């Protein structure tokens, strides 16, 4: 009979990496409010601007050995790309030698910030193989982890993203199909997505269903030539709007998404999407490419899926989403906020159960 894991102490001190990330704050909100979890503050990286948590100091093996009395468990979420494969192996060794547990939430099986995934896959392997317990967000991701590394993962869904209700209202008039390209990070299939959106809107208008395309993009991007090409494509279409602006605040972003009927995820690769979760909180339907496990994040009819690179598939999936009548957006948001609140305790309990098992492995 397997040994039962010890109960989590009244207040479990967790070195969450990074503690300041919105996901981490939201997923631990209920446990922190009840006093079951205390998150250590992120140490300030030397030379970094105020408020910046990266590179995460708590991943450093020397820091962990020097501060062992401060925490019971390390829970890694983001920031592993800041360390070499060897440094991450030292991190795992430091925790083993000091008797501290390691939990790793596998958010990304592919790094959305990278094109070449070779080094990232090596970093993943170190932590997936070295962690006492694993968490991921969807059954599909858990199955891929099992197939690749032979490790079981607890599947704990994404917590709420939206904290404050936006001031914006639901759209009126023509159907608004939008995409937020942000700073054109490497996993954004920007041109193919914009062209598919304009082609679909053109067909909708030909059918007598007025629709416009809204393209949002930051004024500072990683690929200026691509930005200029996109601008030319959008400005050449009478059915498309070009919104170039400084990076939005959270409140501005919520208002801009709320003004849409459908938000398109422009990803060429990825695993899970916090952006999708924000749209769900806001009551805005999402059109997602058939990569990663976006569709598994919400199994209702709010997420449509298209085959990446296929304009006909995009148009069909969009038509299915638009066949639904426009809903009372405020009422929908309230209902989803209630659902998120109801799920918060379950999410918190599931994460505490993972912590119990991790501590049990270390102290067995």
- Give alpha helix (H) positions in the chain: 22-27, 29-33, 61-66, 85-98, 118-130, 139-149, 190-206, 224-235, 250-258, 274-282, 311-322, 329-363
322 in the same domain as 219: yes
pLDDT tens for 151-192 read 999 999 999 999 888 877 778 899 999 999 999 999 999 999
321 in the same domain as 267: yes
Number of domains in the chain: 2
Q: What band does 5 get if pLDDT is binned at 50, 70 and 90?
A: very low
Q: What is the CATH number of the domain that holds 31?
A: 3.40.50.2000
Q: What confidence score (pLDDT) does residue 10 get?
A: 75
Residue 5 forms part of a structural domain: no
pLDDT at 303 over 70: yes
Q: Would you give the DSSP letter of residue 29?
A: H
198 in the same domain as 105: no
Residue-range definition of the domain harbouring residue 232 = 175-327
Residue 57 forms part of a structural domain: yes
316 in the same domain as 180: yes
Q: What confidence score (pLDDT) does residue 269 get?
A: 95
- Averaged pLDDT of the chain: 94
193 in the same domain as 148: no
Residue 72 forms part of a structural domain: yes
Residue 67 forms part of a structural domain: yes
Q: What band does 325 get if pLDDT is binned at 50, 70 and 90?
A: confident
Comparing CA positions, the residue from 283, 265, 261 lying closest to residue 274 is 265
CA distance 56 to 175: 43
Token output for 209? 């269903």
Length of the chain (residues): 364
- φ/ψ region of 17 (left if φ > 0, alpha if ψ in -120 to 50, else beta) reads beta
66 in the same domain as 207: no
Residue 284: beta bridge partners?
Answer: none
pTM for the model stands at 0.95
Residue 92 forms part of a structural domain: yes
Greatest pairwise CA separation for the chain in angstroms: 69
129 in the same domain as 207: no
pLDDT tens for 208-228 read 999 999 999 999 999 999 999
Residue 4 forms part of a structural domain: no
350 in the same domain as 270: no
259 in the same domain as 315: yes
106 in the same domain as 188: no
Between the CA of residue 107 and those of 102, 166, 311, 343, what are the distances in Å? 16, 27, 29, 19
Residue 316 forms part of a structural domain: yes
Residue 217 forms part of a structural domain: yes
200 in the same domain as 106: no
pLDDT tens for 7-63 read 556 799 999 999 999 999 999 999 999 999 999 999 999 999 988 999 999 999 999
Between the CA of residue 295 and those of 141, 180, 242, 298, what are the distances in Å? 12, 19, 28, 6
Q: What band does 1 get if pLDDT is binned at 50, 70 and 90?
A: very low
Per-residue pLDDT, averaged over 236-249, amounts to 98
153 in the same domain as 192: no
């Amino acid at each position: 009979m397997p040994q039962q894991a010890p109960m989590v102490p009244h207040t479990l001190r967790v070195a969450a990496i990074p503690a300041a990330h919105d996901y981490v704050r939201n997923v631990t909100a209920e446990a922190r409010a009840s006093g079951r979890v205390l998150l250590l503050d992120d140490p300030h990286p030397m030379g970094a601007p105020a408020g910046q948590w990266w590179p995460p100091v708590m991943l450093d093996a020397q820091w962990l050995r020097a501060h062992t009395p401060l925490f019971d468990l390390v829970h890694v979420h983001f920031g592993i790309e800041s360390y070499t494969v060897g440094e991450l192996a030292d991190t795992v060794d430091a925790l083993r030698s000091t008797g501290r547990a390691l939990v790793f939430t596998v958010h990304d099986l592919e790094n959305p910030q990278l094109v070449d995934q070779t080094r990232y896959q090596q970093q993943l392997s170190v932590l997936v193989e070295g962690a006492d317990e694993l968490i991921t967000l969807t059954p599909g991701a858990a199955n891929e982890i099992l197939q690749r590394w032979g490790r079981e993962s607890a599947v704990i869904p994404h917590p709420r993203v939206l904290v404050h209700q936006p001031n914006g209202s639901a759209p009126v008039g023509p159907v608004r199909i939008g995409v937020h390209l942000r700073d054109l990070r490497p996993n954004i299939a920007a041109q193919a997505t914009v062209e598919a959106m304009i082609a679909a809107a053109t067909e909708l208008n030909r059918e007598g269903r007025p629709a416009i395309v809204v393209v949002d993009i930051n004024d500072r991007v990683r690929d200026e030539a691509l930005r200029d090409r996109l601008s030319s494509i959008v400005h050449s279409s009478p059915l498309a709007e070009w919104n170039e602006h400084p990076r939005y605040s959270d409140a501005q972003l919520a208002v801009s998404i709320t003004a849409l009927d459908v938000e398109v995820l422009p990803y060429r690769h990825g695993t899970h999407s916090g952006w999708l979760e924000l749209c769900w909180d806001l009551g805005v339907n999402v059109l997602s490419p058939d990569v990663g496990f976006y569709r598994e994040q919400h199994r209702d009819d709010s997420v449509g899926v298209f085959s990446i690179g296929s304009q006909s598939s995009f148009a069909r999936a969009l038509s299915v989403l638009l066949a639904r009548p426009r809903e009372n957006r405020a009422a929908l948001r309230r209902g989803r906020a209630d659902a998120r609140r109801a799920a918060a305790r379950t999410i918190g309990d599931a994460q505490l159960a993972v912590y119990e098992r991790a501590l049990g492995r270390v102290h067995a």
